[in-house]
Amino acid sequence: MTLAEKILAAHSGKDRVSPGEFINARVDLILSNDITAPLAIKEFQKLGVNKVFDSKKVVMVPDHFCPSKDILSAEQAKTMREFARRYNLTYFEVGTMGIEHVLLPELGLVLPGDVVVGADSHTCTYGALGAFATGMGSTDIAVAMATGEIWMKVPPTIKLIYHGKLGRWVSGKDLILYTIGDIGVDGALYSAMEFAGEAISALPMDGRFTMANMAIEAGGKAGIFRVDKETVKYLKFRAKRPYRVYESDPDAGYAKVIEYDISKVEPQVAFPHLPSNVNPISKVGDIKVDQVVIGSCTNGRLDDLRTAAKVMKGRKVNSDLRCIIIPGSQRVYLDALREGLIEIFIKAGVVVSTPTCGPCLGGYMGVLAAGEKCVSTTNRNFVGRMGSPKSEVYLANPAVAAASAILGKLSSPDAVAC
């Protein structure tokens, strides 16, 4: 069996499972946010139950519109807050919360071998830790909160092997954009994407989270990595409970195996209006931008901010645009503050926000007007994703985003940094 199949078999009480098989699987963690939790709560109340299956395994994070941007978002957060308090759930209030997919791994709430479901499509982020993690609808989440189980079809697994050594300024964001550009936004439809190869072994955890996060942009059911020394190191002071490590069998059956030599891959940019509309940075042309956003559940971690600061240090944001940097959690914010990164950003003329999804979904903290162009480290660039349907979003890594903020146009970090 593959890594994903082994985890699902263990959680469904079976010796083995096969792609296409329908199973009931127990879950280790259930997640929802301020957009999806109110819907799940409404459905939960229809079930007629008076408690969740395990209050320690249900987590709610108000991160999309919080601190509340208007009355409606305040009501959404209130519904979530009151439900969490009533059932004694794990809940993160403004001031302690962060972007959900940055926060949960950071706090050791997700561990290898877990099955995690979230009412958010980017729940697949946690596959970086060797967990099977996937997004589900709010009705499924309601039932999971009541029963501790999910019903699902076992996905086939596509193995993606990355050979070679990463070039300068090339990161996990570039590998996943390059992959999506190759296979398309439906290239891994309802499949587990298993990432492997020497380039993956050399990739830091923050880069792995980025890749797993964007598996959904290729249509994936999950993105997953094997647990190695880097994973164990990350978990050393985070894991508060035992966990089990699973490995794919040498003779595991894959739906497809795709291999890449990434030694010559440049930083990638996804042009509007699909994550698959990818171009290398050397071929982007002369594109003036109005806004730059660095952050989100894709690239709001400390390594991302360090990269941006390396490009921005001693420089100024172009006067023709605005640059917004959003640390992914309070911990990331504090670490960046201690390292002097926030000072670099402020001196450069950047707006530094409290942790929030904010502009990624066109929520707040950077909504685009008609005709505006934005370089963003987020994960989606669909029509109207960040505001006006007449705006454009270009997806890139933090180094490219920072260089673009300095030069006022879509740029390679080599054009700025030594």
Q: Where along the chain do its domains lie? A: 3-260, 269-415
One fold for both 3-260 and 269-415?
Answer: yes
Determine the topology of domain 3-260 in CATH: Aconitase; domain 3 (3.30.499)
The side-by-side arrangement of strands in the sheet containing 351-352 is: 278-280, 268-270, 392-395, 373-376, 291-294, 322-325, 351-352
Give, for 151, the enclosing helix (H) or strand (E).
strand 149-153
Q: C-alpha dihedral over 301, 82, 73, 221, to 10 degrees?
A: 50
Q: Six-digit token pair at 240?
A: 């508060």
Gap between the Cα atoms of 262 and 92, Å rounded: 39
Contacts of 129 (CB under 8 A, 6+ apart): 105, 110, 111, 112, 114, 225, 227, 231, 234, 235
* Reported pTM: 0.94
Nearest CA to 41 out of 147, 141, 149, 151 is that of 141
Asked whether the beta carbons of 145 and 162 are under 8 A apart, the reply is: no
| CATH class of the domain comprising 269-415 | alpha beta
Kindly report the length of the chain: 418
Question: What pLDDT score does 144 carry?
Answer: 97
Question: What pLDDT score does 417 carry?
Answer: 67
Cα distances (Å, whole numbers) of residue 83 to 41, 87, 172, 177 = 8, 6, 37, 38
Question: What pLDDT score does 207 carry?
Answer: 96
Asked whether the beta carbons of 227 and 128 are under 8 A apart, the reply is: no
Contacts of 90 (CB under 8 A, 6+ apart): 55, 56, 58, 59, 60, 84, 109
Partner residues linked to 58 by β-bridges: 30
| Owner of token pair 């999910």 | 150
Strand pairing of 278-280 and 268-270? Answer: antiparallel
The pLDDT tens digits along the chain (418 residues) read 999 999 999 999 999 999 999 999 999 999 999 999 999 999 999 999 999 999 999 999 999 999 999 999 999 999 999 999 999 999 999 999 899 999 999 999 999 999 999 999 999 999 999 999 999 999 999 999 999 999 999 999 999 999 999 999 999 999 999 999 999 999 999 999 999 999 999 999 999 999 999 999 999 999 999 999 999 999 999 999 999 999 999 999 999 999 999 999 999 999 999 999 999 999 999 999 999 999 999 999 999 999 999 999 999 999 999 999 999 999 999 999 999 999 999 999 999 999 999 999 999 999 999 999 999 999 999 999 999 999 999 999 999 999 999 999 999 999 986 5
Question: What pLDDT score does 407 carry?
Answer: 97
